[in-house]
Amino acid sequence: MGTGNAIWAFLLTLVAGLSTGIGSLFVLLWKKTNAKILSVMLGLSAGVMIYVSFVDIFPSGQELLISEFGKKAGSWITAASFFGGMLLIGVIDKLIPSKENPHESRSIEKINSCGFGTNSGLIRTGMLTAIAIAVHNFPEGIATFTAALHDRTIGIPIAIAIALHNIPEGISVAIPVYCATGNRKKAFMWSFLSGLSEPAGALIAFLILMPFLNNVVFGILLTSVAGIMVYISMDELLPTAEEYGEHHLAIAGLIAGMVLMALSILVLT
């Protein structure tokens, strides 16, 4: 695994992480949140993450672990890693207060309540949400980097899935800060900075994990990532889309996300 592969993997992680900034760009045109657009976007993100988890990431990790430990032991380790990933992100969610947790759905009315300078709690909410997202993005950065380092055809779909997932999170940071301050630059800055923990995770993976990376570590990481992504889809993306009251649009987005990811994988392989 040469320096060129590491640079490629880091750049891919950087793009995925900084996609929170794309979400923050919505504040430039934002007047009122459109429930239909958000429902489709969240459903699309969930479809991408679920499809790539079960069709690409999980089988790749399972194959590596079975090749190292045999079918029975490898299958047990695969299952343990998958649910271990779910447990990890579940514990992180539990440690973050629900008010600031980006994985807790909020009604469209609360998002739309915007009075510049009239609600001092909004800027605190936006900033704490940025910190919470940074905490979530750190392990995602490690996962994206190591996956891309192992296999570009796996790393690219993971980066796409995480990037799409990060866009709504960028919105969840930018809008409260913008509503509290009326300052679009400040809203963009906080949203943008929250994504930097993803390349930070990649850097930590490069500096600390590189000497230990082998098929076993890659297999465990990939199947754990699959568990994390499925958990996020079920716990955050789909419930939030439903919260906006656009069930059929959310499902349409879910299917469209799966189609998009299927076509991406077919093109890349």
Given a cut of 50, whether residue 254 has pLDDT beyond it is yes
Q: pLDDT grade, residue 109 (50/70/90)?
A: very low
Given a cut of 50, whether residue 108 has pLDDT beyond it is no
Mean pLDDT, the chain, rounded, equals 78
1-46 residue pLDDT tens? 567 788 888 988 888 888 888 877 776 666 555 667 777 877 888 8
pLDDT (average), residues 214-237: 86
Q: pLDDT grade, residue 107 (50/70/90)?
A: very low
Q: Is the pTM of this model over 0.85?
A: no
Buried b (16+ CB within 10 A) or exposed e, 173-196: bbbbbbbbbeebebbbbbbbbbbb
178-218 residue pLDDT tens? 776 777 788 788 888 888 888 988 888 888 877 887 889 88
